[in-house]
Amino acid sequence: MKRLHVIKMKKMLENASRMIAANEPYLTEVDTAIGDGDHGTGMKRGFSALYKMLERQEFYEWDTLCGAAGIELVKSMGGASGVIFGTLFIGGIDRLPHESSCSLTEIADYFMEGEKAIERRGKAKAGQKTMLDALLPAVEALKKGADTGMEIEDAFFYAYNAALKGAEDSKGMESKVGRSKNFRESVLGLPDPGAISTSLIFKAFYEELVSR
Q: Does 95 bind ligand ADP (CB under 6 A)?
A: no
Which DSSP state fits 35? S
Centre a 10 Å sphere on the Cβ of residue 62 and count the other Cβ atoms it contains: 25
Which residue has the closest beta carbon to Mg ion? 35
- Alpha-carbon distance of 128 to 87, in angstroms, equals 19
Return the one option of Mg ion, ligand ADP, none that residue 177 interacts with (CB less than 5 to 8 A, by type).
ligand ADP
Smallest CA-to-CA distance from 205 within 22, 18, 59, 79 is with 18
Q: Which of residues 158-197 bind ligand ADP (CB under 6 A)?
A: 177-179, 192-195
Angle at Cα 113 formed by Cα 181 and Cα 142, nearest 5°? 95
Q: Toward ligand ADP, which CB reaches closer, 20 or 69?
A: 20
Selected binder of Mg ion within 35, 40, 70, 92 (CB under 5 A) = 35
- Alpha-carbon distance of 4 to 49, in angstroms, equals 24
Cβ atoms 101, 6 nearer than 8 A:
yes
Return the one option of Mg ion, ligand ADP, none that residue 132 interacts with (CB less than 5 to 8 A, by type).
ligand ADP
Size (the chain), residues: 212
Return the one option of ligand ADP, Mg ion, none that residue 122 interacts with (CB less than 5 to 8 A, by type).
ligand ADP
Residues 36-75, one symbol each (x = binds Mg ion by CB under 5 A, - = not), give x-xx------------------------------------
Selected binder of ligand ADP within 124, 136, 146, 167 (CB under 6 A) = 124
3-state secondary structure of 5: strand
Residues at the contact surface with ligand ADP, assessed by CB under 6 A: 31, 35-36, 38-39, 42, 79-81, 84, 118, 122, 124, 130-132, 177-179, 192-195
